[in-house]
Amino acid sequence: MAKEQPKQIYRTINGKEIDMNRLVLANEMTVAVGNVKVNARGDELGPGGRIVRKREEVLADAGNQAVPDQLNVREETDPTGGV
């Protein structure tokens, strides 16, 4: 079961109420600003703004990547015969 988000209702200085959760949900398919081709939800976008990979797939791939404990560049051998 998904965790319910707490209400995030803010009141402006003029007394207008803004519900941030509703604002996020209304704009989750909008293309994000920046050089990464994703929408506001986190889906990867292809040509024409079509969804190539959903957010869940992106997060699953990121969780499966192995990170080495140590990185030792000196262990690599030089193709000319040096170390």
pLDDT exceeding 70 applies to what percent of the chain? 73
How confident is residue 18, by pLDDT bands cut at 50, 70 and 90?
Answer: very high
Mean pLDDT of the chain: 82
Reported as type and span, the H/E element at residue 45 is strand 44-45
How confident is residue 7, by pLDDT bands cut at 50, 70 and 90?
Answer: confident
Closest-CA residue to 61 (of 46, 49, 44, 82):
44
CB-based burial label for 78 (10 Å; 0-12, 13-18, 19+): exposed
**Which residue type occupies 59?**
L
Tell me the C-alpha distance between 2 and 5, whole Å.
9
Which pLDDT score, from 0 to 100, does residue 24 have?
85
Tell me the C-alpha distance between 56 and 35, whole Å.
21
